[in-house]
Chains A and B, each alone.
Chain A
Amino acid sequence: MRIFTETGRFLLMLRGMFSKPENAKVYWKEFMHQCSDIGIGSLGIVMIISFFIGAVSALQTAYQLVSPIIPKSTIAQIVRDTVILEFAPTLVCIVLAGVVGSKIASELGNMRVSEQIDALEIMGINTKSYLVMPKIVAALVTIPMLVVIAGTLGILGGRIAGVSTGIMSAADFHKGLLGNFLPYNVFFALVKAYVFAFIISSIPAYFGYHVQGGALEIGRAGTKAVVVSCILILFADYIISALLL
């Protein structure tokens, strides 16, 4: 039963976001601020994890492909496809659900508990559009960019790991990288990135915006936001894969 009320409230929050901004300039400033918070703020962690994931997947693929009949370049091909199809969008977004999601939930939760949201409402500002909308739009703009960067760095990590450990030559890697490349996979990765970006921003915003109580509840909302976003990301991952592949 509760899931229906919560879903209803979630949809109402989304609908409430759409109203004429009281002042477009202030909204734009808030949007840019969120872009820098969400995008630049998590760039470091995204770069580190994607690089190592690419490197590890190159080593593990090489470890599993022991047959001499399979050319070395296949390793590069497998690294490329797993990074683009799964690691860059899904894994990065799971991490971002933790980084960005908990930040959004605790920021809004704190604003709710300390009556800052009420203060904005009293001024005559639609807080759903002013606080929630810029976060969702900023996530939709920056997270797909992060996923593209993650994909590139993941492949680069695979190359550096593969070549430096002597598993294969740089020429082998390039051959594999360019062989049988399907541009559709990139499209697929981006579709996932947009869907996940929406989940990562809207779910924590929902939990943060509706916090009731005090500091304890803010923490609880943060945890709940991350858990629910992660589950929804994996669920959406399955659905999108079933539909598009």
Chain B
Amino acid sequence: MIEIKNLKKAFGDKTVIKDVSVVMESGKCNLIIGSSGSGKTVFMKCLVGLFEPDSGEILYGGQNFTVMNDEQRKELRQQIGMLFQGSALFDSMTVEQNIMFPLDMFTKLSFREKLNRVNEVLEQVEMKDVNRKFPAEISGGMKKRVGIARAVVLNPKYLFCDEPNSGLDPQTSLVIDKLIQDLTIKYNITTVVNTHDMNSVMETGDHIIYMYQGEKEWEGSNKEIIFSKSQKLNDFIFASEFLKDAKDMRMLEAKGKIDNDRNMDELLKD
């Protein structure tokens, strides 16, 4: 569990995060949604200490991250995994070396044991026969998977994913989302995901935080989001006509006015 209290961050005189308080729950995908430039990345980087917040507190399982010194942070960070927007794989290393790197650095396992662990996580992200490939030789979706594998190889308690499905096709996107969700539930990880992908919101959003210009505008679950009264949220989520229709359908369905398991053949048979 991560508790964030009154977090603020400005660059010069431009305030990017304005007084955000939120609790990230464990065993759940906590989604931060919002349009580009709303401060999602900055917020996430504040949580992990890549940016220093101007004020506020960040508590990891009760420990105050904001007042920790470098050594204490290094200690805590070994329980943190992060998937970056551009995957941030080390170009000079193969896929196998990338994933093995945290093991090399922080464990005393033998090469065999490390290799087994690498293959185990590669299997979890459904990748095969890529051990010897370099990041430049694999596709964007595969890079994300390797990024996830590297982030979870040390069994983190906290997982951060910055736009895990940016630049991916809808199908691959869903697979990545599912993967993150499965790992989160299976290992009871506190996962924080930045996204502006509506599919992920609807599929994996157990806990959604909507950011609007650096402020927390709305918070709730994917069940609640279609009933939200926030105009800004509605404009953001249901931007297209198609999605507006989908929302109406869901609302009717939720109110028992449509049976979504209805037989399509019956309906189409004018």
Q: Chain A interface (Cβ within 8 Å of chain B)?
A: 19, 22-23, 25-26, 110-111, 114-116, 118-119, 121-126
Contact = CB atoms under 8 A, between A and B. Distances in A.
Contacts of B50: 118, 121-122
Contact of B86 (A25, A115, A123, A125): A115
A26 B88 contact: no
Given A123-B78, A124-B77, A115 B88 contact: yes
B242 interface: no
B77 A122 contact: yes
Interface string B62-87: 00000000100111111011101110
B105 interface: yes
B245 interface: no
A42 B266 CA distance: 75
Contacts of A121: 49-50, 77
B90 interface: yes
A123 B105 contact: yes
B82 A119 contact: yes
B106 A124 contact: yes
B140 interface: no
Nearest to B78: A124
A22 B70 CA distance: 13
B48 interface: yes
A116 B73 CA distance: 18
A123 B102 contact: yes
Contacts of A110: 91
Given A23-B104, A123-B102, A125-B74, 16 more contacts: A26-B104, A26-B105, A110-B91, A116-B90, A116-B91, A119-B84, A119-B88, A122-B50, A122-B81, A122-B82, A123-B105, A124-B73, A124-B76, A124-B77, A124-B106, A126-B70
